[in-house]
Chain A
Amino acid sequence: MRVVVDSDKCCGSGQCVLTAPDVFDQRDEDGTVLLLDAEPPAELHEAVRQAVTLCPSSAISVVED
């Protein structure tokens, strides 16, 4: 799985950080998404998919292997 984020679309709701804190964080300057791990291990895939669903501004997408 490869994770792609679009910080222009991000509205800083923090849903991704709550859902998959090992994969996502927020930038100190403006709270927008900071991708920590673009190729997360398999055990985090479900959480990443949930983050995609919960992101209110469609700022996260995944490319499945």
Chain B
Amino acid sequence: MTSTETSAPQYPMQRSRPLDPPTELAEIRSERPVSRVTLWDGTQPWLVTRLEDARVVLGDRRFSADLRTPGFPMVLRAQQALRRPDDVVPFIRMDPPEHGVFRRMLTRDFMIKRVNALRPKIQEIVDGFLDEMLAKPAPADLVAEFALPVPSLVIALLLGVPYEDHGFFQSRSNVLLNLESTAEDVQGARAALDAYLGDLVDRRLREPGDDLISRLAVERLATGELSREQLVSMSFLLLIAGHETTANMTALSILSLLQNPDQLAVLRDDPTLIPGAVEELLRFHTIVHIGLPRVALEDVTFGDVTISAGEGVIVSLPAANRDEEQFADPDQLDVTREARRQIAFGFGVHQCLGQPLARAELQIAVETVLRRVPTLRLAVPTEEIPFRTAMAIYGVHQLPVTW
């Protein structure tokens, strides 16, 4: 099959229902699960939609995550603008063995036992923001009052970024993740965050605290293992990935449970189901909705389709997580489903570094809201909720709730 024999639809596609992936993705998955799509720049990379194929592309070294590899797909118009003038490549866009050197500098901070030790602190933060929200008159915006501040404060404490600067980093992060931002906007936001984090790195090098940036500055930067630019790039990634993703998953999780009161009741009656429910919520929402870019280093065959060396590939995480061959009745939220095979955190050596932290935050936030605010309900009809259709990370801009 060549690209001229089938149409290559424009990508990304639009959703027709806010909590479901675009319907075209389901058609593509059942009719031609590995097929070409057309990007904004006219290039036609392959779209991979089945879970098994997604695991192959993301887990196999014949596919590169290095954006310097020719043919690497540029899914977003402003993506090019994220490249730094000094040409430092973020480690999430490198291949092994280079990638592992950087990732291993961070893995110990996100180990299961480290994150478990943080749980009491996360609970305290969750209770604190919930107390503040409930002390004010209803209605409230659950995003601004709870879903965003909780992970922002947690990642700020972990990294050693002063939380009082949250307005600054949240607004820049909004520009970076907006698919409609111009290259100039993106460059400006990136430069502002780089300058801010660069100053912070310098300060922590002089006066280290008990936090991740201080530790990397003292143990890796001072020893020459890490350049200042690479440390800034790492801090940048952790700061953005650490708060935007969990914030949106928290808000979407609460929204979808409010829309499915039977499921909410199951969880409220038996909180031991919460960890499994979080896996299902991750599967159902899959907020990295534009997928993950890769490029083939060798020819690789999927059924009757061969992806040739040098061709771009986009793995659609939402399509893979709604694969009916893997999940029965995939468009139904079922908090009792065994969903750990989901790949909302990606797969392969780049799988989300912060997933233990994200899981802990989501489990604690969902459990606490259900337990402490049994009368919680939406304050507006669903049609009035502003969904993040134009953002790289899906979610809601606001979630008006009352109780």
Give CA–CA (A57, B230) in the complex, Å.
24
How far, in Å, is B118 (CB) from chain A's closest CB?
14
Determine whether B23 belongs to the interface, using a CB cutoff of 8 Å to chain A.
Answer: no
Determine whether B183 belongs to the interface, using a CB cutoff of 8 Å to chain A.
Answer: no
Q: Flag A3-24 by CB within 8 Å of B: 1 or 0 each.
A: 0000001011110011100000
**A4-63: which residues lie under 8 A (CB-CB) from chain B?**
9, 11-14, 17-19, 25-32, 50, 53-54, 56-58
Give CA–CA (A56, B352) in the complex, Å.
10
Determine whether B389 belongs to the interface, using a CB cutoff of 8 Å to chain A.
Answer: no
Cβ–Cβ < 8 Å partners of A54 in chain B: 340-341
B108 and A11 within 8 A (CB): no
| Interchain CB contact (< 8 A) of A56 among B113, B346, B356 | B346
How far, in Å, is A19 (CB) from chain B's closest CB?
8
How far, in Å, is B174 (CB) from chain A's closest CB?
28
Cβ–Cβ < 8 Å partners of A13 in chain B: 345, 351-353, 355
**B341-359: which residues lie under 8 A (CB-CB) from chain A?**
341, 345-353, 355-356
How far, in Å, is A22 (CB) from chain B's closest CB?
13
| Interchain CB contact (< 8 A) of A26 among B59, B112, B340 | B112
A56 and B348 within 8 A (CB): yes
Give CA–CA (A58, B59) in the complex, Å.
8
How far, in Å, is B376 (CB) from chain A's closest CB?
29
B111 and A56 within 8 A (CB): no
| Interchain CB contact (< 8 A) of A11 among B100, B112, B113 | B100
Known: A54-B340, A54-B341. A11 touches B107 (CB 8 A): yes
Determine whether B110 belongs to the interface, using a CB cutoff of 8 Å to chain A.
Answer: yes
Nearest residue, chain B, Cβ from A17: B112
| Interchain CB contact (< 8 A) of B107 among A18, A32, A50, A53 | A32
How far, in Å, is B117 (CB) from chain A's closest CB?
12
Cβ–Cβ < 8 Å partners of B351 in chain A: 11, 13, 56-57
Cβ–Cβ < 8 Å partners of B346 in chain A: 56
**B66-122: which residues lie under 8 A (CB-CB) from chain A?**
100, 103-104, 107-113
A12 and B111 within 8 A (CB): yes
Give CA–CA (A9, B103) in the complex, Å.
12
Cβ–Cβ < 8 Å partners of B356 in chain A: 14, 18
Known: A12-B103, A14-B355, A30-B104. A57 touches B349 (CB 8 A): yes
Known: A11-B100, A11-B351. A56 touches B59 (CB 8 A): yes
Give CA–CA (A31, B103) in the complex, Å.
10
Nearest residue, chain A, Cβ from B110: A31
8 tightest A-B CB contacts, nearest first: A12-B107, A31-B107, A56-B351, A31-B108, A11-B349, A17-B112, A14-B112, A31-B111
> Could you pull out 8 A-B pairs where Cβ atoms are within 8 angstroms?
A13-B351, A18-B112, A26-B108, A27-B108, A28-B111, A31-B107, A54-B341, A56-B349
Chain B residues at the A interface, C-beta cutoff of 8 Å: 58-59, 100, 103-104, 107-113, 340-341, 345-353, 355-356
